[in-house]
Amino acid sequence: MQEHKRRLAALLMQKSYREGDFVLASGRKSEYYFDCRVTALSAEGSWLIGTLFNDMLKTCDIRGVGGMSLGADPLVSAVTVISHSSGRPLHGLLVRKEAKEHGIGQFVEGLGNFSKGDRVAMLEDVVTTGGSLRGACDRVCAAGLAVSAVCAVLDREEGGRAKLKEAGYDLLALFTRKSLLALGG
């Protein structure tokens, strides 16, 4: 798996990592921006992310994976496809930022593949403050599921891990900014 991780780091640095002046979703200013979707939506990047997350979650007793739409959409898809082909099928779910205004008006899509109380892992592309990941976890729990793990491609190491810990979640990340720069730089 270490070679897969090195290759993903190289792809992330090539496709997703930019330096400059940016404003993040949290409102914070940053000297770098990490757009994981570019890598996650590439064929190789999707396969690597799905493979590495499945390896990370192999000891977790879960029925599926989920995340906040739009950032987690390709992550959830990659994990579900790889999980099926590896013989440990995990279902996916997506959490909307706003409830649908039509149909049954739900926040969480994919619940039909789960039963009340099922355990899931929540995925995120980038954790800065942990706010969006915590919000997604809250909605999934409100829908009757239990969150057993929270995972990210990148932990920016800007307080999100501690905030998630306060909420009872231990963040598992494929990379911190430091490890990404070391492996992919």
Reduced DSSP (H G I as helix, E B as strand, rest coil) percent helix, strand, coil of the chain, to 5: 40, 25, 30
51 is in an annotated binding site: no
- Distances from the Cα of 32 to the Cα of 13, 50, 102, 156, 185, angstroms: 11, 25, 38, 10, 14
> Is 132 labeled as ligand-binding?
yes
Helix (H) or strand (E) holding 136: helix 131-142
Q: Check the annotation: does 127 bind a ligand.
A: yes
Q: Is the dihedral of CA 17, 58, 91, 7 positive or negative?
A: positive
178 is known to lie in a ligand binding site: no
What gap in Å lies between CA 131 and CA 25, rounded to an integer? Answer: 10
Ligand-binding site membership of 15 (annotated): no
Annotated ligand binding at 124? The verdict is yes
Query: Residue 98 annotated as binding?
Result: no
Residue 36 DSSP class: H
Q: Are 150 and 124 in contact (CB under 8 A)?
A: yes
Q: Is 125 annotated as a binding-site member?
A: yes
Q: Is 100 annotated as a binding residue?
A: yes
How far apart are alpha carbons 71 and 137 in whole angstroms?
A: 14
- The answer to whether the annotation marks 81 as part of a ligand binding site is no
Is 161 within any annotated ligand binding site? Answer: no
59 is annotated as contributing to ligand binding: no
- Whether 4 has a binding-site annotation, put simply, is no
Dist CA 24 CA 134 (whole Å): 17
- Point out the annotated binding site for 5-phospho-alpha-D-ribose 1-diphosphate: 96-97, 100, 102, 124-132
- Point out the annotated binding site: 96-97, 100, 102, 124-132, 156
- Point out the annotated binding site for orotate: 128, 156
